[in-house]
Amino acid sequence: MRQHHYLAVDLGATSGRTTLATFDGTNITLRELTRFANPMVPIAGHIHWNIVELYNQILCALRLTCREGIEPDSIGIDTWGCDVAYFGSKGNLVSLPYCYRGSHTEGAMEAYFERMSAEELYDRSGIQFMPFNTIFQLDAVNRLGLVNLEGVDKILFIPDALNYMLTGVAATEYTVATTGQIVNAASKSLDSKVLSTAGVKVEQFGKFISPGTVLGELTEQNKHHTGLANTKVVTVAGHDTAAAVAAVPVGTEAAYLSCGTWSLMGIKTDEPIITPQSFAENFTNEGGIDGTIRFLKNICGLWLFERCRAEFTDAPTDVAELVALAGRVDGEFTTLINPDDPSFANPPSMTAAIDAYAERTAQRKPSTPAEYCNCIFRSLAARYREVFALLEQFAGRRLEYLYVIGGGAQNAMLMQLTADAIGRDVVVGVAESTTMGNILMQMRALGHIAATDMERIIKASTNTKIYKPTSYERN
């Protein structure tokens, strides 16, 4: 079998990278090609994404493969969810995409709920409420006059927008669309009533398609610009968490945790779980591959650690050293926080926010970088325990273990604390899960593998580590 090459583009809310994958018929090998920043851009009191620069970075990566004498069979793009770009009828950008952290989302949910109740919106979408969900952003930019939506021809999520710029074909991919709370959970299609309440038409979106669809070829302009003549553009699972979960080789027997800046803990289901309890607990039903549902809970994850670490002036810069110090904190230090408390969303100082929380709850304030980190890791493990227990209730069965992906899986202290907290094995899996899921969907779309081959390939390309619960539980 000849070797196949695929280019995966993974864009996060702070940086992006491109990875060249090679498949030899058994194993996938990955090589990082480029890495670049993705800063938020302040303009006229709002925050935007520079989608033109992201597009340029993708073209640069394609040109680089050509210079190396490699023509990828395909390219696939995954990004964060919720944000969208606006295009005119000639394919021109009407506006740079607004960033989900911008001020336009303030009061957006409440304004929308004046026309459709929260209960009806959740019943229709099954999606948790966050002020930056696409439906609230669309309503806000329309209501505030930031974008003249009547003059917009296409509204496309970020991966779909970049695919459109590469091919000229407008499509709306299922997994990323579900993050916006605009997809009907029952029909798994765009919900016209939800959209019309915000003054938007279904026709303003691209053709609704599933992950693993060959969208088309590069435009003639892009073929000339990159030197590539035959590379296909594939719609992978466009939402980065959906791409990551595609590389999780578990079924209904276990839960998964995507552990990074955000923590997302959930289970795979065939049908959405929409109940009064799931509404009250703000669980979400996001789309997965093959029509599945990712029933999960968002948890404020290592954002807490990252923000604190940026404030430390007398702590090791090496993450592993800092984690080791946190593990040696005296057992008499027992302060815990609720990671999902609103005070930790984006405070000027994370250490000050933790101090204030400790005071409010009559606990001892951390006094060293090691104690702040110890508090964060144990608090996350305690929150994981709560969400894991809720997932078992919703699933109606025992979950045998927790499969962890993402950068936080490399934090041995956090993984062991999590195993102790939930009383189950914690299995650390694919290190590059988002990229791996992206690549696997490209391979499937091109017919190079079948859906049934995915688990075998993941296991052949992955070294797993298991953390077993111990008899002690410090939290």
Question: What is the distance between the alpha carbons of residues 62 and 75, in angstroms, rounded to a whole number?
Answer: 9
Q: Are residues 227 and 336 in the same domain?
A: no
- As to burial, measured by CB atoms within 10 angstroms (0-12 exposed, 13-18 middle, 19+ buried), residue 168 is middle
Instruction: Check residue 1 and give its pLDDT.
Output: 58
Instruction: Check residue 36 and give its pLDDT.
Output: 97
CB atoms within 10 A of CB 169: 17
Residue-averaged pLDDT of the chain: 94
pLDDT score of 177 more than 60: yes
Instruction: Check residue 387 and give its pLDDT.
Output: 97
According to DSSP, the residues that pair with 245 across neighbouring strands are none
Average pLDDT over residues 301-305: 92
Q: What is the CATH number of the domain that holds 336?
A: 3.30.420.40
Domain assignment present for residue 443? The answer is: no
Instruction: Check residue 475 and give its pLDDT.
Output: 38
Domain assignment present for residue 445? The answer is: no
Domain assignment present for residue 397? The answer is: yes
pLDDT score of 319 more than 80: yes
Tell me which of 179, 210, 240 is where a domain ends: 240
Average pLDDT over residues 402-419: 94
One-letter amino acid of 247: A
Q: Are residues 217 and 266 in the same domain?
A: no
Instruction: Output DSSP code: residue 117.
Output: -
Burial 276-299 (b: 16+ CB within 10 A, else e): eebbeeebbbbbbbeebbbbbbbb
Q: What is the DSSP string of 246-305?
A: HT----TT-EEEEESSEEEEEEEESS----HHHHHTT-EEEE-GGG-EEEEEEEE-THHH
**Structural domain of 222:** 4-240
Q: Are residues 294 and 162 in the same domain?
A: no
How sure is the predictor about 93, in pLDDT bands with cuts at 50, 70 and 90? very high
Question: What is the distance between the alpha carbons of residues 403 and 189, in angstroms, rounded to a whole number?
Answer: 30
Q: Are residues 127 and 252 in the same domain?
A: no
SS3 annotation, 132-178: CCHHHHHHHHHHCCCCCHHHCCEEEEHHHHHHHHHHCCCEEEHHHHH
Tell me which of 408, 429, 450 is where a domain ends: 429
pLDDT score of 21 more than 60: yes
How sure is the predictor about 169, in pLDDT bands with cuts at 50, 70 and 90? very high
| pLDDT tens column, 334-361 | 999 999 998 998 899 999 999 999 999 9
Catalytic (active-site) positions = 240
Q: Are residues 228 and 293 in the same domain?
A: no
| pLDDT tens column, 416-440 | 999 999 999 999 987 788 999 999 9
Q: Are 337 and 375 in contact (CB under 8 A)?
A: yes
State how many domains the chain has. Answer: 2
Give the H or E element holding residue 46.
strand 46-49
Q: Are 335 and 312 in contact (CB under 8 A)?
A: no
Q: Are residues 223 and 75 in the same domain?
A: yes
| pLDDT tens column, 238-273 | 999 999 999 998 888 999 999 988 899 999 999 999
**Which pair of tokens denotes residue 445?**
């779309």
Q: Are residues 212 and 306 in the same domain?
A: no
Instruction: Check residue 346 and give its pLDDT.
Output: 80
pLDDT score of 236 more than 80: yes
| pLDDT tens column, 447-475 | 999 999 998 888 877 778 999 999 544 43
Instruction: Check residue 473 and give its pLDDT.
Output: 43
Domain assignment present for residue 204? The answer is: yes
Q: Are 76 and 235 in contact (CB under 8 A)?
A: yes
Q: Are residues 90 and 109 in the same domain?
A: yes
Instruction: Check residue 472 and give its pLDDT.
Output: 40
Question: What is the distance between the alpha carbons of residues 454 and 460, in angstroms, rounded to a whole number?
Answer: 10
Q: Are 430 and 438 in contact (CB under 8 A)?
A: no
Distance of CA 112 to the CA centre of its chain: 24
Pairing of strands 232-235, 213-217: antiparallel
pLDDT score of 205 more than 90: yes
Domain assignment present for residue 215? The answer is: yes
Average pLDDT over residues 217-239: 97
Q: Are residues 292 and 201 in the same domain?
A: no
Domain assignment present for residue 441? The answer is: no
Q: Are 243 and 438 in contact (CB under 8 A)?
A: yes
Domain assignment present for residue 464? The answer is: no
Q: Are residues 271 and 169 in the same domain?
A: no
Domain assignment present for residue 190? The answer is: yes
Instruction: Check residue 26 and give its pLDDT.
Output: 80
Average pLDDT over residues 325-332: 94
Q: Are residues 331 and 206 in the same domain?
A: no
Q: Are residues 161 and 42 in the same domain?
A: yes
Q: Of 142, 425, 162, 450, which Cα lies nearest the Cα of 290?
A: 450
Tell me which of 180, 212, 240 is where a domain ends: 240
According to DSSP, the residues that pair with 239 across neighbouring strands are 79
